[in-house]
Structure 1
Amino acid sequence: MTTSIELKNIKFYAYHGVMEQERIVGNQFVVDALLTVPLQRAMDSDHLDDTINYALIYEVIKSEMLIPSNLLEHVAGRTLNALKRTFPQLSAIELKVSKLNPPIEGEIQSASVIVRQTY
């Protein structure tokens, strides 16, 4: 059995972007995280100590989103690494970081970077 914890549509206002104006004004970002982790003990015990508290997952992601970066790739990679450091029991991570209404010509809802790592 494969088990995962998923946090979807986590919204942040942050200051990521190549253009100086993006790092001054900021923008809306959305993060989705899918963390593969053994959950059988928690399924049997009903104890928080046997799983990963998703409030702590949120805090790790939030702390990385607060650090300005030029590239979404950098934000995603840094966040993936922080999640693995914090929760070594993870066997895989999929992370999507999206910038809403990116400052490019044309109508576009978001630009995203998706990183996946299996351990």
Structure 2
Amino acid sequence: MGKIILENIKLFGFHGCIPEEKFLGSYYTVNIEVELDLYKASISDDLSKTIDYVYLFRIVKEEMAINSKLLEHLAYRIIQRIKKYRIDLVKKIKIKICKENPPLQSSVDRFCVILDDLN
């Protein structure tokens, strides 16, 4: 077993339930952890035996461009796209999405959602 991890993907998006979030937007940080068997890839040096981290980044970027009210929903969509891409390899996916400087009446650095998906 092994993991492919993308850490601290920084993107801008328009997610949230507050009206201002839909037109002002916010910065987000995304972390993805995909658990899979990396044995064949490690022996063969063949990209088709693993998950392309460039494609994982593209999935996150494309889904971040689609507005959601809830980060939970955004995380779910990203997980579903990753599973659709390589369901044959994926054992577990964990995603953490953080909204940086959320619009609250207090000083909060970030609001985060973590979603785990087991096949």
**Pairwise TM-score range, normalised by the shorter structure:** over 0.9
How many Å separate the matches in 2 of 1:58 and 1:21? 27
TM-score, length-scaled by structure 2: 0.95
Measure the CA separation in 2 of the matches of 1:87 and 1:29: 25
CA positional deviation for 1:103: 0.4
Secondary structure of the corresponding residue to residue 106 of structure 1 = coil
The two structures have a TM-score, normalised by structure 1, of 0.95
Match for residue 67 of structure 1? 66
C-alpha separation in 1, matches of 2:48 and 2:79: 22
**Matched residue of 2:106: which SS?**
coil
- Structure 1: where are the runs of 5+ without partners? none
Secondary structure of the corresponding residue to residue 73 of structure 2:
helix
Structure 2 CA distance for aligned equivalents of residues 67 and 25 of structure 1: 15
Distance 2:39 2:101 in 1: 40
Give the equivalent residue in structure 1 for 2:112. 112
Residues 42-94 of structure 1 show CA distances to partners (whole Å, capped at 9, x for unaligned) of 11111222211100011111111110011111111111111111121211000
Distance 1:53 1:108 in 2: 34
Residue 27 (structure 1) aligns with: 26
1:49 match: 48
The residue matched to 1:6 in structure 2 has which SS?
A: strand
Q: Distance in 2 between matches of 1:87 and 1:26?
A: 31
- 1:55 is matched by which residue type in structure 2? V
Where in structure 2 are there 5+ consecutive unaligned residues?
none
CA distance in 1, matches of 2:90, 2:105: 39
What secondary structure, in the 3-state scheme, does the structure 1 residue paired with 2:43 have? helix
Q: Give me the whole-angstrom Cα distance separating, in 2, the residues matched to 1:18 and 1:32.
A: 22
Aligned residues: 118
